[in-house]
């Protein structure tokens, strides 16, 4: 569908809908909204708008829908699959000025927030309430972006992902209608669960302008472990056994030796360079956690673990988590002149050791530098591969490898993307992953956004 580029007339009209200091078509503002943290090429929008109210968003969408102007929501641009890159131009709605906590309902374990709120800032504001919002994708992701992407992180294995924490949404539809969906009760069997339709929709069905989130109690105590293994495969096997034994770790992260080396160089962590599991338990009593750690130690040792260091202090644990969250950036810094392709496959628990072995062999065959790290407890595997920018040989090898790895994940009953979303790069796997249900998705998209103005060029394999 051809879209309308913003000419001077449209710019004047949109500027009138909000205060003029919250509209910009300046080159630097547009360039700041041209790329996310992925390797996908930048593409600037025609203009950027910073809305402050749902009504402003509504008016802009109504105008854009009438005139066929693409609209893309923007949180902090920390996504990893090109999800908010305005590939068809149009207007970016930057939610950094809609970042307020509207209501903290402590007794209900709920909070009402605006979409531009950064999740770390939410948790900081909640720090004395005994409550927190668990999904932790790292970077400084916003709640709106996290919902649109169904973000998850290191604690998802225990606490779940963003989808488990959304109770109610206020959404502006493509035509400007403001709709509230969901409710504030802990459970409901009433009708279709529209919340889940918007969660992970990457801004293609509507624009989220307010969310009521579920919170959970801050863990009273934690216990953290670092365990090293002779091979990534043996570490992967231990992960599977830990899950099968019924232990519920709050984090179960696997890091390839190449990642540990990077931690040591860039974060000065002084760890043993080996395939490593980082495991954390949350609980109310030391005795309970000591028991968990004992079982965990037994499983790790059975799978050949060489070092099993329990009882990490809080500072040490926090530094490790911080390094883990910075790993993507560390890899980028370690490869100047390269673009980093980020893979995000996820498979069922029993298939996890096989999947990680397959990925390792593929990297070895390619002759390129790859980093394996994983939210192992979720069967979610990250593979970051460095290819020289503009080196077509590299990228041919990478593209072919990605295809084989994703196909392998799908054949094991998995998905092309565990948490980064489809965005631009994973559209080509949609047909293989979803088969005929992709057609249903298209019909839903068409129902919500008949003119296709909401984040065009994402999720669906067709052009644009």
Partner 1 sequence: MEIVVLLKQVPSTESLVEIAADGVSIKTDDIKWVMNPYDELAVEEALKIRESGEGQVTILTIGPEKAVEAMRTALAMGADKGVRIDPGDLRLDGLGTAKVLAAALKEMPYDLIIAGHRAVDDDNYQAGPAVAELLGIPNISMVIKQDISDGKIQCHRTVEGGTVVIESPLPALITTQRGLNEPRYASLPGIMKAKKKPVDVKPIADLGLDENALAGKTTIAALTPPPERKGGRVLDGDTAQDKVTALVNALRDEAKAI
* Chain residues that interact with partner 1, rule: CB under 8 A: 123, 126-132, 217-220, 284, 314-315, 318
Task: Output the smallest distance, CB 367 to partner 1, in A.
Answer: 42
Nearer to partner 1 among residue 283 and residue 328 (C-beta) = 283
Nearer to partner 1 among residue 48 and residue 215 (C-beta) = 215
CB-based contact 464:87 (threshold 8 Å): yes
Nearer to partner 1 among residue 42 and residue 219 (C-beta) = 219
Instruction: Give the CA radius of gyration of the chain.
Output: 22
Nearer to partner 1 among residue 315 and residue 392 (C-beta) = 315
Burial of 1 (0-12, 13-18, 19+ CB in 10 A): exposed
Task: Output the smallest distance, CB 326 to partner 1, in A.
Answer: 16
Task: Output the smallest distance, CB 21 to partner 1, in A.
Answer: 9
Nearer to partner 1 among residue 217 and residue 461 (C-beta) = 217
Buried/exposed 336-362: b ≥16 CB within 10 Å, e otherwise? eebbbbbbbbbbeeebbbebbebbbeb
Task: Output the smallest distance, CB 127 to partner 1, in A.
Answer: 4
Task: Output the smallest distance, CB 217 to partner 1, in A.
Answer: 4
Reported as half-sphere exposure (CB side, CA atoms, 13 A), residue 43 has a value of: 17
Structure tokens at 76: 């902090």
Alpha-carbon span 15 to 22, nearest angstrom: 8
Nearer to partner 1 among residue 107 and residue 447 (C-beta) = 107
Task: Output the smallest distance, CB 424 to partner 1, in A.
Answer: 36
List all residues 6 or more positions away from 313 whose beta carbon is below 8 Å from its beta carbon.
none
DSSP letter for each residue of 350-418? GGHHHHHHHHHHHHHHHTSEEEEEEEGGGTEEEEEEEEETT-HHHHHHHHHHHHHHHHHHHHTT-BSBS
Alpha-carbon span 229 to 212, nearest angstrom: 42
Nearer to partner 1 among residue 19 and residue 245 (C-beta) = 19
Task: Output the smallest distance, CB 215 to partner 1, in A.
Answer: 10
**Sign of the torsion angle spanned by Cα atoms 124, 125, 131, 137:** negative
Structure tokens at 199: 């969660």
Alpha-carbon span 202 to 225, nearest angstrom: 35
Task: Output the smallest distance, CB 12 to partner 1, in A.
Answer: 18
Task: Output the smallest distance, CB 75 to partner 1, in A.
Answer: 21
User: Which residue shows structure tokens 């004395």?
Assistant: 128
91-94/47-49 β-pairing: parallel
DSSP element (H, E) containing 283: strand 276-283
Task: Output the smallest distance, CB 314 to partner 1, in A.
Answer: 7
Nearer to partner 1 among residue 21 and residue 393 (C-beta) = 21
Strand partners, 226: 278, 309
Task: Output the smallest distance, CB 24 to partner 1, in A.
Answer: 13
Structure tokens at 191: 């009708």
- State phi, psi for 262 to the nearest 5 degrees: -65, -40
Nearer to partner 1 among residue 129 and residue 231 (C-beta) = 129
Nearer to partner 1 among residue 217 and residue 464 (C-beta) = 217
User: Minimal CA–CA distance to 418: which of 379, 377, 386, 457?
Assistant: 379
Nearer to partner 1 among residue 218 and residue 334 (C-beta) = 218
């Amino acid at each position: 569908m051809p879209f309308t580029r913003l000419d001077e007339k449209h710019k004047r009209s949109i500027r009138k809908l909000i205060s003029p200091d919250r509209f910009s078509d300046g080159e630097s503002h547009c360039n700041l909204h041209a790329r996310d943290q992925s390797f996908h090429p930048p593409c600037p929008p025609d203009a950027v708008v910073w809305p402050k109210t749902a009504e402003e968003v509504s008016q802009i969408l109504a105008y854009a829908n009438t005139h066929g102007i693409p609209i893309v929501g923007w949180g902090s641009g920390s996504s990893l699959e090109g999800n908010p890159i305005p590939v068809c131009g149009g207007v970016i709605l930057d939610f950094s000025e809609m970042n307020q906590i509207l209501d903290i309902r402590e007794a209900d374990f709920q909070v009402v927030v605006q979409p531009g709120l950064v999740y770390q800032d939410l948790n900081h504001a909640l720090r004395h309430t005994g409550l927190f919002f668990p999904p932790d994708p790292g970077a400084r992701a916003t709640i709106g972006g996290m919902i649109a992407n169904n973000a998850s992180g290191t604690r998802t294995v225990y606490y779940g992902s963003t989808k488990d924490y959304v109770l109610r949404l206020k959404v502006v539809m493509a035509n400007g209608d403001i709709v509230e969906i969901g409710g504030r009760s802990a459970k409901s069997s009433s009708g279709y669960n529209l919340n889940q339709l918007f969660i992970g929709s990457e801004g293609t069905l509507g624009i989220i302008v307010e969310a009521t989130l579920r919170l959970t109690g801050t863990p009273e105590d934690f216990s953290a472990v670092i365990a090293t293994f002779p091979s990534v495969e043996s570490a992967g096997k231990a992960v599977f056994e830990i899950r099968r034994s019924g232990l519920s770790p709050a984090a179960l992260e696997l890091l390839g030796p190449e990642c540990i080396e990077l931690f040591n160089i860039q974060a000065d962590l002084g760890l043993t360079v080996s395939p490593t599991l980082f495991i954390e338990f949350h609980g109310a009593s030391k005795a309970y956690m000591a028991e968990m750690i004992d079982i965990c130690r037994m499983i790790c040792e059975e799978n050949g673990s060489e070092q099993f260091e329990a009882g990490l202090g809080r500072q040490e644990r926090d530094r490790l988590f911080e390094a883990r969250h910075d790993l993507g950036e560390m890899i980028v810094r370690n490869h100047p002149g390269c673009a980093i392709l980020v893979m995000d496959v996820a498979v069922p628990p029993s298939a996890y050791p096989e999947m990680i072995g397959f990925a390792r062999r593929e990297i070895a065959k390619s002759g390129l530098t790859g980093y394996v790290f994983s939210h192992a407890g979720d069967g979610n595997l990250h593979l970051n591969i460095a290819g020289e920018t503009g080196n077509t040989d590299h990228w041919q090898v990478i593209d072919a490898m990605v295809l084989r790895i994703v196909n392998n994940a799908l054949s094991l009953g998995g998905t092309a993307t565990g948490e980064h979303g489809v965005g631009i790069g994973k559209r080509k796997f949609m047909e293989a992953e979803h088969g005929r249900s992709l057609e249903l998705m298209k019909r839903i998209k068409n129902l919500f956004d008949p003119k296709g103005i909401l984040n065009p060029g994402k999720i669906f394999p067709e052009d644009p």
